């Protein structure tokens, strides 16, 4: 690291658990963030500020005025612009040293497999079950850790699904892909703005720990936040030995 980097990341380097070695791991890391909205905004911003070397943002939507209540990577002036491009501008303003690739596209399974293969960690910041399951399948197949978050109304949840740990569940173990779950949209149900910041920041924290290999992750645990009463609940999540996605990897 050069003198500028030593100064920029000095508060990380002061932490015994991170130090110069941990910060260098971040500088060399590649993160894939799928979704540049409410969760993806704070998650990607913290990844960039922490010094992750390369961040790929994937989102095919455009910035809308209704997004600005909670999607903090975007500004009023960027209404109508692609979210991925808008977020890229924000990340580069935060940390010009972080390389950011903005993909304005809806990725299919083949494209997901390609992008996941290039990443060291994947953050699912999307808002529908079909995409979450597609991302999960790609991460299981690519043996890459997945940090998954969700928020609606006053409720949030977060977990890590790490196929590298053979005894831990994947997303489909918890929410089977052959069951019907109703997608609930913010546009119809609403969402309390700070909660996406809380969960998105936690996604970044889990991703950074995974990249540096420090601490314990949320793999095997689901944390749920009741934002109205500000109460966290943590439950253990076991692996489904009959899961059609990850059982073959056991």
pLDDT tens column, 186-215: 556 789 999 999 999 999 999 999 999 999
Q: Cα angle at 177 between 176 and 183, to 5 degrees?
A: 100
CA distance 232 to 250: 31
Q: Which of the following CATH numbers is that of domain 3-249: 3.40.50.850, 3.40.50.300, 3.90.79.10, 3.40.50.720?
A: 3.40.50.720
Q: Is 139 a catalytic residue?
A: no
DSSP β-ladder status, 121-124 and 146-152: parallel
b/e per residue 225-244 (b: at least 16 CB within 10 A): bebeeeeeeeeebebbeebe
Q: Please report the pLDDT score of residue 184 as a whole number.
A: 58
| Percentage with pLDDT > 90 across the chain | 90
Give CA–CA dist 4/192, Å, rounded: 38
- What is residue 189's predicted lDDT score, i.e. its pLDDT? 79
Domain extents for the chain?
3-249
The stretch 108-114 carries a mean pLDDT of 94
User: Which runs of E-coded beta strand occur in 140-230?
Assistant: 146-152, 155-161, 221-226
pLDDT at 250: 54
Catalytic residue among 139, 170, 173, 186: 186
């Amino acid at each position: 690291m050069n003198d500028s980097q030593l100064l920029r990341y000095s508060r990380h380097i002061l932490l015994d658990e991170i130090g110069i070695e941990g910060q260098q791991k971040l500088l060399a890391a590649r993160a894939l963030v799928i979704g540049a909205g409410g969760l993806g905004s704070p998650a990607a911003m913290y990844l960039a500020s922490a010094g992750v070397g390369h961040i790929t943002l994937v989102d095919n939507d455009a910035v809308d005025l209704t997004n600005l209540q909670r999607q903090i990577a975007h500004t009023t002036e960027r209404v109508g612009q692609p979210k991925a491009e808008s977020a890229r501008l924000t990340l580069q303003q935060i940390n010009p040293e972080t390389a950011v690739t903005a993909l304005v596209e809806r990725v299919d399974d083949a494209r997901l497999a390609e992008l996941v293969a290039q990443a060291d960690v994947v953050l699912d910041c999307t808002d529908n079950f079909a995409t979450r399951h597609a991302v999960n399948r790609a991460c299981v197949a690519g043996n890459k850790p997945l940090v998954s978050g969700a928020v609606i109304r006053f409720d949030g949840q977060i977990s890590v699904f790490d196929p590298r740990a053979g005894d831990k569940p994947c997303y489909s173990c918890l929410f089977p892909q052959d069951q019907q779950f109703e997608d609930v949209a913010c546009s119809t149900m609403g969402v309390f703005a700070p909660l996406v910041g809380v969960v998105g920041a936690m996604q970044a924290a889990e991703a950074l720990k995974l990249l540096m290999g420090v601490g314990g992750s949320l793999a095997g645990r689901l944390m749920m936040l009741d934002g109205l009463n500000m109460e966290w609940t943590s439950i253990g999540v076991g692996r489904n030995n009959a899961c059609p996605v990850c059982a073959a990897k056991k």
